Amino acid sequence: MKYGIVGRSGRMGQEIEKLFGDAGHELVLASDAAGTECGGKPEVILDFSSRDALAGTAELCGTHGAALIVGTTALSEEQLASLRKLGEKAVVVQSFNFAAGVNVLKMILRDYAPLLSDWDMEIEETHHSKKKDAPSGTAVLLREAAGRDAPAHSLRLGGVPGDHSVHFANDGEVLSFTHRALSRGVFALGALRAALFALKARPGFYSFGDVLRTGKEK
Ligand code: NAD
My answer on whether 145 and 132 are in the same domain is yes
12 close to ligand 1 (CB < 6 Angstrom): yes
Q: 177 lies in which domain range? A: 100-181
The catalytic site residues sit at 127, 131
Q: Where are the beta strands (DSSP E) in the chain?
A: 2-6, 26-32, 35-38, 44-47, 67-70, 91-94, 120-127, 152-156, 163-169, 174-180, 204-206
On whether both 23 and 38 belong to a single domain, the answer is yes
Verify that 143 and 153 share a domain, yes or no: yes
Are residue 75 and residue 8 in the same domain, yes or no?
yes
Q: Is the CB of 51 under 6 A from ligand 1?
A: no
The alpha carbon of 135 and the centre of ligand 1 are apart by a number of angstroms equal to 16
What is the mean predicted confidence (pLDDT) over 186-204? 98
Type of residue found at 96? F
| Judgement on whether residues 170 and 203 belong to the same structural domain of the protein | no
Instruction: Give DSSP secondary structure letters for 150-175.
Output: --EEEEE-TT---EEEEEEE-SS-EE
pLDDT tens across 101-122, in order?
999 999 999 999 999 999 999 9
- Please check whether residue 74 is in contact with residue 133, taking contact to mean a CB–CB distance below 8 angstroms: yes
pLDDT digits (tens, 9 = 90+) for 7-36: 999 999 999 999 999 999 999 999 999 999
116 alpha carbon – ligand 1 mean position (Å):
35
* Distance, C-alpha 11 to centroid of its chain: 14
57 lines ligand 1 (CB under 6 A): no
The pLDDT of residue 217 is 63
Q: Are residues 204 and 109 in the same domain?
A: no
Q: What is the pLDDT of residues 58-95, one digit of tens each?
A: 999 999 999 999 999 999 999 999 999 999 999 999 99
What is the pLDDT, as a whole number, of residue 218?
Answer: 56
Cα(72) to ligand 1 centroid in Å equals 6
C-beta of 94 in contact with ligand 1 (< 6 A): no
Residue 27 lies in a domain: yes
Q: Kindly report, residue by residue over 128-137, the tens digit of the pLDDT.
A: 999 999 999 9
Statement: residue 199 has pLDDT above 90 = yes
Flag whether 218 is in a domain: no
Cα–Cα distance for residue pair 51/147, rounded to 1 Å: 24
Do 71 and 106 reside in the same domain of the chain? no
DSSP-assigned beta bridge partners for residue 29: 4, 38
Residue 47 in this model has a pLDDT that exceeds 60: yes
Answer yes or no: are the C-beta atoms of 23 and 192 closer than 8 Å: yes
195 domain residue, yes or no: yes
146 CA to centre of ligand 1 in angstroms: 26
> Based on the structure, what is the number of domains in the chain?
2
The reply to whether 38 falls in a domain is yes
Q: Say if ligand 1 is within 6 A of residue 35 CB.
A: no
For residue range 157-182, list pLDDT tens digits in order.
Answer: 999 999 999 999 999 999 999 999 99
Q: Which of 12, 27, 46, 211 to mutate to test the pocket of ligand 1 (most atoms within 8 A of CB)?
A: 12
Residue 58 sits in a domain whose CATH number is: 3.40.50.720
The CB of 186 under 6 Å from ligand 1? The reply is no
> How much is the mean pLDDT over the chain?
97
Does one domain contain both 51 and 93?
A: yes
C-alpha to C-alpha distance for 8 and 15, rounded to whole angstroms: 9
**Whole-structure pTM over 0.85, yes or no?**
yes
CATH number of the domain where residue 167 is located: 3.30.360.10
Q: What is the pLDDT of residue 216?
A: 75
- Tens of pLDDT, residue by residue over 132-157, are 999 999 999 999 999 999 999 999 99
